[in-house]
Amino acid sequence: MKRSRFTEAQIFGILKEAEAGLSVAEIGRKFNISDATYYNWKSKYGGMTLNELKRLKELEEENRKLKEIVAEQSLDIKCLKALSKKNF
């Protein structure tokens, strides 16, 4: 996945400037981003606070780890079933 030039904190700052009254075209020129990038960020981060975003990232990481654990357990169960069929 391509890494962004901007951190989440910087993106929130840019979105705050837009809420303060700068036009999208002015923001694009000031930060060298396209209108599409601005609107993508607005759809993704709009209405969130920085704390909510940090919490969301933590939850996504926890969810990823839990899914990995479930996948490993599922594989272990399948292996044990296959071994028990061969032994009996």
pLDDT digits (tens, 9 = 90+) for 38-83: 999 999 888 888 899 889 999 999 999 999 999 999 999 999 999 8
Cα-Cα-Cα-Cα torsion 55, 59, 62, 64, nearest 10 degrees, comes to -130
DSSP codes, 13-56: HHHHHHHHT--HHHHHHHHT--HHHHHHHHHHHTT--HHHHHHH
Distance CA 60, CA 64 (A): 6
Asked if residue 44 and residue 8 are part of one domain, the reply reads: yes
Asked if residue 73 and residue 39 are part of one domain, the reply reads: no
Asked if residue 70 and residue 42 are part of one domain, the reply reads: no
Asked if residue 42 and residue 10 are part of one domain, the reply reads: yes
Asked if residue 67 and residue 44 are part of one domain, the reply reads: no
The residues, any chain, with a CB within 8 Å of residue 27's CB and separated by 6 or more, are: 14, 17, 18, 33, 38
Is 75 a member of any domain? yes
pLDDT digits (tens, 9 = 90+) for 3-52: 778 998 899 999 999 989 899 999 999 999 999 999 999 998 888 888 99
Is 53 a member of any domain? no
pTM beyond 0.75: no
Q: Which range marks the domain in which residue 43 is found?
A: 1-48
What total number of domains does the chain contain? 2
